[in-house]
Amino acid sequence: MTPRLLGPDQLTLRRKPRTSPWVQIGWRVALMVAILFFVVAVHWFERDGLRDNHDGRISFIDVIYFTMVSITTTGYGDIVPVSDGTRTFDALVVTPIRIFFVLIFLGTAYQFVLRRSWDKWVMAQIQKRLTNHIVVAGYGTSGSETVAELIARGTDPSCIVVIDPDEAALECAESLGCAVLLGDATRDRTLEAVRIPEARVMIISAGRDDTSILICLTARHLAPGLRISVAVRAEDNELLARQAGATTVINPVSFAGLLLAGSAHGPNIADYIADLASTHGRVRLAERDARPEEYGKPLAGIATGLGVRIYRDGKPIGYWEPACEDIRAGDRIIEIIPSIRHEADLPLQPGLANYTASHQG
């Protein structure tokens, strides 16, 4: 795999070529030899249009010599074209071939020497700046929706690194400004390339439960303290994903069932649940740490939104439970707030009563 820089904040690895570098070089050499044979043949049949200032005779060796120095240099003047036909051939055919040869030489040197050295240096520079980022493994339907939602929620695309074995999928992520890595996320080397220990969170949606769980195991092995969210389709695999080290396990099939069941009890329940999970509606769910000025206050008294739950020592506490009457340091607050597109138009009021009165979203 060869690193390639596509932008100031984009990193990708190209797919391994179908042919080896030696085969590619062989094809280029064969092409150059074929062109040389063509030019030598034309010069041999048109040798009467050449003049040798050394001995006055044009031999086959002289033709080969003149062809080589004409294509690789501008000539030395010892053998020169004198007829109109030979001069025209050298001007209109040999000169473009000379330029073509130079381009082949430069292209080969760039692809097999300069480019690899340059890309390795660029990749090292990007890796130095890669920290507190979000790694998304898998850019299928779920992965692409995840990245789009992250960006919609205000995440800088340059802070998102997408890993996928499909180059076409990565092109879509690149168009959003994300850093991309073409490779297998189940391999240690791939995750080390995106500096997984320095990542803020990893989101895994590989399309297959076994692959997603294996990626989770690899990531947890490299980054024991990393928050990992995994999408699995089979309910039986949810426990396996948690045992593999997943912090959060999402089952899109189960979530769809929740929406369908909710719609049976009211026509607007499913719409509101989807509204909470997305930035495209009027409200959204947000999670944050409790602030010092909120310590000792009830959850209903927070001024930033409608508090619905507290997580204390990893355990959920509902807004109706007595423990929510006393916010403590280290608590994580789950609240409902206006979506980004609406929050500028809706001034927040302190307290649950004022909030619910002014924001019926």
What letter would DSSP give residue 300?
A: G
pLDDT tens-digit series, residues 281-326: 778 888 899 999 999 999 998 988 899 999 998 899 998 999 999 9
CB-based burial, 20-58: b 16+ in 10 Å, e otherwise: eeeeeeeeeeeebeebbeebbebbbebbebbbbeeeeeb
- Coil, helix or strand for 288? strand
Distances (CA, A) of 247 to 238, 244, 335: 11, 9, 20
- Tell me the HSE value of 262 on the side-chain side, using a 13 A CA sphere: 13
The answer on pLDDT for 197 being more than 70 is: yes
Separation between Cα atoms, residue 148 and residue 278, nearest integer Å: 10
Angle, vertex CA 196, rays to CA 138 and CA 14, nearest 5: 55
The answer on pLDDT for 109 being more than 50 is: yes
Least confident of 122-126, 135-139, 302-306: 122-126
Q: Which two tokens stand for residue 361?
A: 């979203």
Q: What are phi and psi of 156, to 5 degrees?
A: -65, 125
Domains of the chain are: 19-129 (1.10.287.70), 134-251 (3.40.50.720), 281-358 (3.30.70)
* Burial label, 67 (beta-carbon count in 10 A; 0-12, 13-18, 19+): buried
The answer on pLDDT for 8 being more than 50 is: no
pLDDT tens-digit series, residues 125-134: 666 777 889 9
